[in-house]
Amino acid sequence: MNVRAAILAGALLVPGVAASAEPPLNKAGEALYERWPSIRVSSPTPSTFRHAELEKALEALAAKYPGLFETVTTATSNEGRKIRLLRAGTGPRKVLLWTQMHGDEPTGTSAILDLLSDLGVRSGEPDTKELLSSLTLYVIPMLNPDGSERFVRWNAQGIDINRDALALASPEARFLKSVRDAHEPYVGYNLHNQFNRVTAGGTGGPVSLAVLSVPFDEAFTASPGRTLTKRLAVAIQDLLAPYTKDTFARYKTDYTARAFGDSMTRWGTPTLLIEAGFLPGPGAEEQLVRLYWVARRGSLQLLARGQGRLGSVKEARYDAIPLNTEGRLYDVILRDLMVVNGRGLAPYPASIALLRGNRRVDGDGRGGAYVREVGDLAEFATPEPSPAVSGLYAAPAPGGDAEGWPAVLDGLAARGLVTEEGALRLKAEDLTKEVAAWAGKSILEPGYGGDLLLFRTTREGGLVLDAFVRKGKLETAPRR
């Protein structure tokens, strides 16, 4: 057995603390989760955190905890920004962690800062001493600073660094490859964010975190390295179990030779991909960092312990982790409406699914929303609760813009079709003709990107404008 194989085997087979002496992984995860606020230095809004702020944060940590980590080497991005390789620990097993190779995927960078802070705060604790004496961590906290500056996926050349492992046309890719070759880590962490319209399997909720034991060939061949990363993935699922019920997923398994995770594994550094997903509600970015940190800190501790707990994790459980599933989520669903689409058709019952413009998914950077589907949407879900609009009549705004509604209302009033209270003296069946007149070419169908008008019926059988839908958001209509 060569030296490298012996190190890898050691992570799986070397005796350590007996599994029975350790708390269950879900309890270990809870302890880490509760610890995070006391060590956290990351920004509350990772999406606005830029390279200059990273440099200041690293300098502050280095000053506060001298000797905790060092900058081993640096590279320079296309636009002259420094890319650091940090080293922490003195252990025989080398671990490489790189993050934000896509500039608009910032969660991992924030979690890296919190990891370094934790190691500094707890430098005298047994768990930290164990980790830093067993592992040497090589960390690239922001591989694509130019992309981060613009909050886009690509580097300044327009290259997706994660698809540049073979051509090495970008300085960022060349740096990452040189780091791997120089230090030959026995395992790697490839840290990303994924878009928000995937669920955990066919019935789970929006994915909060997804993992992948990255393959090294099209046959998905088993190897000791992939056994290790599968066990890490399962261990992370257990660590986060109290917080990710029905939202933890397995990233779709494919093989792309030009991708870095696949290439790292093929070159001899088996790699675990971690993708932060989506959480609803306020503080979601912070919560994702917290989960990411628990996953990383907890799994590194397991690597440090060798057989202690990781050796008892059954890699067969990896295949039971629900897959990332696309196609079940829309951003907004307006359910159980009566639709008047502007083509002169009688009102018909349907729900309306909206997608908001999303740079990484739709490629156009739009800030608005557009109709993706009309009809029976009972089997579909949304990341956040959609507005309650059941029973209302939905129509396209005049020319697609709700700002045109007052002029239309004045015209209806001039024809005696508006009451003093602002209700329309129109029956539902009469609305069809009026909508066709004011909509023009703005037809409420898939692809429509304008505003919506929502009407409710009055006790007298007329109609009154209840709300607008602008850019996928419900706004109460002003009363006359």
What domains sit in the chain, N to C, each tagged with a CATH number?
3-326 (3.40.630.10), 332-476 (2.30.40.10)
Per-residue model confidence as pLDDT tens for the chain (480 residues):
444 554 555 554 433 334 445 678 999 999 999 999 999 999 999 999 999 999 999 999 999 999 999 999 999 999 999 999 999 999 999 999 999 999 999 999 999 999 999 999 999 999 999 999 999 999 999 999 999 999 999 999 999 999 999 999 999 999 999 999 999 999 999 999 997 788 999 888 889 999 999 999 999 999 999 999 999 999 999 999 999 999 999 999 889 999 999 999 999 999 999 999 988 888 999 999 999 999 999 999 999 987 556 888 999 999 999 999 887 889 899 999 999 999 999 999 999 999 886 433 333 334 578 999 999 999 888 888 888 999 999 999 999 999 999 999 999 999 999 998 888 998 888 899 999 999 988 999 999 999 999 999 988 888 999 999 998 899 998 765
What's residue 289's pLDDT?
97
Contacts for 66 with CB less than 8 Å, ≥ 6 apart: none
Provide the residue type at 116 as one letter. Answer: L
Whole-structure pTM value: 0.82
Q: Which tokens in the block code for residue 37? A: 């606020």
Quick one: three-class SS letters along the chain? Answer: CCHHHHHHHHHHHCCCCCHHHCCCHHHHHHHHHHHHHHHCCCCCCHHHCCHHHHHHHHHHHHHHCCCCCEEEEEEECCCCCEEEEEEECCCCEEEEEEECCCCCCCHHHHHHHHHHHHHHHCCCCHHHHHHHHHEEEEEECCCCHHHHHHCCCCCCCCCCHHHCCCCCCCHHHHHHHHHHHHHCCCEEEEEEECCCCEEECCCCCECCEEEEECCCCCCCCCCHHHHHHHHHHHHHHHHCCCCCCCCEEECCCCCCCCCHHHHHHHHCCCEEEEEECCCCCCCHHHHHHHHHHHHHHHHHHHHHCCCCCHHHCCHHHHHHCCEEEECCECCEEEEEEEECCCCCCCCEEEEEEEEECCHHHHCCCCCCEEEEEEECCCCCECCCCCCCCCCCEEEECHHHCHHHHHHHHHHHHHCCCECCCCCECCCHHHHHHHHHHHHCCCCCCCCCCCCEEEEEECCCCCEEEEEEEECCEEEECCCC
What's residue 208's pLDDT?
95
**HSE-CB for 328 with a 13 A CA cutoff:** 17
Q: Which tokens in the block code for residue 289? A: 């960092």
| 412, burial (CB in 10 Å: exposed 0-12, middle 13-18, buried 19+) | middle
